Each structure stands twice: as structure tokens, then as C-alpha cells.
Chain A
Amino acid sequence: MATSESRRSFIGFAFGGVATVGGVFSLVAMKKTWDPLPSVKAAGFTTVDLSGMNEGELRTIEWRKKPIFILKKDANMAKDEKRDVIVDNATYTVVIGLCTHLGCIPAYAPSEGLFKCACHGGEFDVSGKNVFGPPPRPLDIPPFKIEGTKLVLGEEGPEYQKMIAEA
């Protein structure tokens, strides 16, 4: 009978509609469950005092469980206006120390002035720019804010915003 056919398909559509809405909501909830927890997000700030560093010295600190390379450039090292961080009239390279290829930590070879990644042979210069191998882009610069001789990682200061805007 025609009437009952249309009733049946209406019930089908109604069921489908309810199931779709429920499905979408549960997918959203499941997606959010896998997002980083608030405590993980909140632990994302680190302050470093750079005043004690020597020229040519490399310091590795931890920020958001990632290694951060801070290199105080000496006079021989090429400047890079787009990437250098100036704190207290000294020039620094501040980068996330993870190869942009697959995320290994490159080792610093001071004699060659290169960060070398053993895994796939990627190399970066003292400014963190990729000069050889598979890495697709220079080492990433973490968000930072300059406070006197201190660097706050995780906060976007005006210098960082300017750097990003120019890039």
C-alpha cells in the first residue's frame, strides 16, 4: 500500500537523521578527547636567562618537551636579519632543535658551524637554515618574548610577531 510505503520511508529517514546527529556529536567528542589536556597546554612556558652565555656557546634547553637550541653568535658567524634574535645587543639563534624532516635532534659541530642530523643526513647552518639533505625548511623558531636579558618561550612577543610577519 502506498501510504504505508511512505510511512516506512519516513521512519527510515527519521531514524537516519537521529543517527547522523548522534554520530556527528560523538565523533566531535571523540576528536576532542584526543586533544592535549589543559594541564599539558598550560605547562607550555619556559624562561631562560641569557646573560651568562659566552660567544659561540650553544645551550640546549627543554620547552614543551622539545629541545631548544640557543646559540650565541660570535663575530665570525654570518648574521641573518630575518632569523636572528637580538637580546641585550647580542645576536642569538633560537630554534626548535628538531630536524624539519622527521623530527630527530641534529648534533652541533662547532668546527664546521653546522647542525647535522644523523638520521637522514640533513644539515643546517648556524642560523638554522637547511643547507643540505632532505629537510624541507629551516629549523622552526619557537614563539618567544624578550624581557631584558631573559627569553620567555611560549609567549609571542612583538619581536617574534615581527619576525613571523616578515617571513
Chain B
Amino acid sequence: MAHITKANGIVDWLDQRLAVKKLMNVLMVEYWIPKQINFLWAMGVILTVLFTVLFVTGLLLVMYYKPDTALAFDSVNKTIMQEADYGWLWRHMHGVAASVIFLIIYIHMLTGIYYGSYKKGREMIWISGMLLFVVFSAEAFSGYMLPWGQMSYWAAQVITNLFGGVPFIGDALVIWIRGDYAVSDPTLTRFFMLHVCLLPIVIIMIIAFHFYALRIPHVNNEIAEELDFDLEAQKYKNGDTKGSKVIPFWPAFLSKDFMYICLFMIFFFYLVCFKFNFAMDPINFDPADALKTPAHIYPEWYFLWSYEVLRGFFFDIGSIKAFDIGLAAFGIAQVIFFLLPWLDRSDVVKPAHARGKFFVWFWILLVDLIVLTVYGKLPPTGINAWIGFGASVVFLALLLVVLPLITRKEKE
């Protein structure tokens, strides 16, 4: 056992028993961050804050929510929204945060792509981040179901039906996932379990892994300069804080992040208080009705791009059914970004504006994602269907064909 002496204060008392000073050093004070990074690098901390908001407001909501098809709708729209004091606040914070977190995730991802932060040595950061994106999607979808309105019901109907496209076992798989022949009570209770228990645990574990993966290759910077972190850290510790190219995470770097968090929270609470409706689809204020489909079914804005890829292929090609092509394209869209470190054949780690063709590729990808998002919301008829088809083809071509080609050329 360590030699315990009479403590001179609470910190010392804890330090002798838990080595808190050493822990703080490892986690914060001697965790080095490059100086040359801009506000886009603050998205990670903002995501952490948003996840915390979702976690805490979710706990408050779960005290009144009832996972039963007969009670769920009223427990949300009556008990939480009208009876429980400040219930409306937690619900709107939860709903808005769930929506805005995807905006920040997309900015975070596109920043990573723009600055080449997925490359050489940072692959695990990228992969764990993409894993987080996928699990967050499942978390968002399972949560969307819980108020048991019309959109919740039909979203569940459509998404669970997708598994029917799995060869051979599709139909049985759909019944197994739903626990019934149609989306109903067992489906709601098991998605409730996923949303409030299993998926949050998985998310927290992957967040820890994502942070850990960051500590070894270290965070990238604005000019993708390769820093000798040991050397720069030594400079800082020796007192040359100006000459050193790094700063400690705490207190120097976080103080800057706190400013961004403050700005973001002002924006966030503006949305919560005045614009909460954007995250609340009006159709979802009708109770679920298994015998009536709403005129248009569309997901929340953050899934529109992949939804459009799913329905972009609306005609059969040869003997392959449109349904299967769309499903395959959708499947590819879900996993293709995982492979980005290998689809990019070039070893050059530089921001996009220093990479010529890659810069053009990046902006075409961004515009294409926006087009897919816009047309994902519009009814898929007439010219809309063709634009959706075109944008889906461009999306797949950009990642599967164009990126490997231009980056291989860049390597030469």
C-alpha cells in the first residue's frame, strides 16, 4: 500500500488515495493540442455537450414516458407536455438536441474530410467516429418511434420493412425484429429498451474509444503540419509557451472551447424556445394508426440524403428489381464512409484547398449531399424522381470511382 500521511486538504486526501493529480495530468493538463486549429475543431466538444444534454433531458423524460402503445402518445403529449412542470422544456431540449446533434456531426465529419484527418495514422479515429454516427442514427430512429404518432409508426414500418430485403430470411427477420406480424406493442417496448438502455451504453463506450484513439496520433491541425508532440510539449513545460506549437487541453484549450460552447448554447436555446417546431413533425401529433398511411412519408432532415439514395433507383434494370438496387445503394451509402481512408489512395495529408482535384471533389460531394437532402423531402414524382436518381448515381460515383482515381493520380 502507498504510504499515507496526514492530508493537508481535500485534494491531497484524494490524491493519496486516488492519484487524482496524476489522473488530471494524463487526461487534461498534459494532453497536448496544436495551436493552429480553428473553430471547426470545437465541434467535438460541442457534441460532447449535446450528448450530455440528451442524456440528462432523456432521464427526466423517462420518468413520465410509458412504453405501451395504448399510453405512449398521451404520456408524451399530455403528461409530459402539459402536466409535468417544465416537461415541455425537457421534451423540446431533447428533440432539438437530437436534431442539431446531427448538424454538428455532419460539420465534424466534413471537417475531418476537408483537412484529411482520416488519413495515415488517424484511421481508427475516423472509424470509431463513423461507428458513433451509425449508432447515433439507430439511437435517433429508435427515439423517434417512442411518441407513437403517425410518423413514428410509419417510420418504424418502413425501416423494419427494409430488413425484408435480406435474401432468404427477410420476411421472417422482419417479424422477429418487430415481435409481431406488424409494428405494434412488442416493437415499441424493444425499441424503448434500445433507446434508453443498450444504445446509450454502446455510445458511451464508443465515445471513450474515440477519445482514446485521438490520444496516440494526436489531433490534426489546420495546415496538417506533422508535429513532434513530445518536443513541443517539452518546450511548453520549460516555459517557452510562445515558441511551443502546442497548448495543454486544460486550462488553455478548453477556455477557448468554452467560448464556442457558450455561443452554441445561445443558438441552441434560441431554437428550443422559439423554433422548436422544426424538430417536431406535425404529422406526429396524430396518434399512430396502423390502417392509414400519411400522404407523404419522409424521415427527419438528417436522414433525407440516404433516404433519397434508397428511393433514387425507381426503375428495374434488366432482371434486377428497383427495390433491390435501391436497397443495395442505401446499404453502400451507410458504410462507404467507413472506407474513406482506403478509398483515398494518396498519402498526402493536407487540407483540401492544397490538394487541387480533391478540393473540387469535396465541394461536389457537399453540393450533391445537399441536393439529395432537398429532393429527399419532395414527392418522388416526375422530374424529381430523375434528379433524385441522378444525384444518387453521382454520390456513388464520387466515392467509389472518382475519389480513388483522382487520389491515385495525386500520389504520382
Binding site for B on A (CB under 8 A): 31, 34-37, 40, 44, 60, 62, 64-67, 101-105, 107, 117-121, 133-136
Contacts and interface: CB of A to CB of B under 8 A. Distances in A.
Contacts of B21: none
B218 interface: no
B290 A102 contact: no
Given A119-B297, A121-B314, A34 B176 contact: yes
Interface string B272-308: 0000000000000000001111011100000000000
Interface residues of B, number: 38
Given A62-B290, A134-B315, 9 more contacts: A34-B176, A36-B179, A36-B186, A66-B181, A66-B290, A101-B323, A103-B161, A134-B314, A134-B323
Interface in B172-223: 175-184, 186, 190
Interface of B: 154, 157-158, 161-162, 164, 175-184, 186, 190, 290-293, 295-297, 311, 313-315, 321-324, 326, 379-381, 385
A104 B154 contact: yes
A31 B323 CA distance: 28
A108 to B, nearest CB: 12
A62 B184 CA distance: 13
Given A134-B311, A136-B321, A65 B158 contact: no
30 contacts: A34-B179, A35-B176, A36-B175, A36-B186, A37-B179, A40-B179, A40-B180, A40-B181, A64-B181, A65-B180, A65-B181, A102-B157, A102-B158, A102-B161, A103-B157, A104-B154, A104-B157, A104-B297, A105-B293, A117-B293, A118-B296, A119-B158, A119-B293, A133-B314, A133-B322, A134-B311, A134-B313, A134-B315, A134-B322, A134-B323
Nearest to A65: B182
A121 B380 contact: yes
A35 B180 CA distance: 8
Contacts of A133: 314, 322
**Minimum-distance CB pairs A-B, first 5:** A65-B182, A64-B181, A103-B161, A105-B293, A136-B321
Contacts of A103: 157-158, 161, 164
B290 A65 contact: yes
A65 to B, nearest CB: 4
Contacts of A101: 323
Contacts of A44: 181
B288 to A, nearest CB: 11
Contacts of A118: 293, 295-297, 379
A81 to B, nearest CB: 25
Nearest to B310: A102
Given A102-B158, A118-B293, A136 B190 contact: no
Nearest to A133: B314
A116 to B, nearest CB: 11
A161 B271 CA distance: 58
Contacts of A120: 311, 314, 380
A86 to B, nearest CB: 26
Contacts of B175: 36
Best-surrounded residue of A35, A60, A120, A135 (most CB of chain B within 10 A):
A120
Contact of B292 (A64, A105, A117, A119): A105
A39 B140 CA distance: 30
Contacts of B190: 34
Given A135-B323, A136-B321, A40 B186 contact: yes
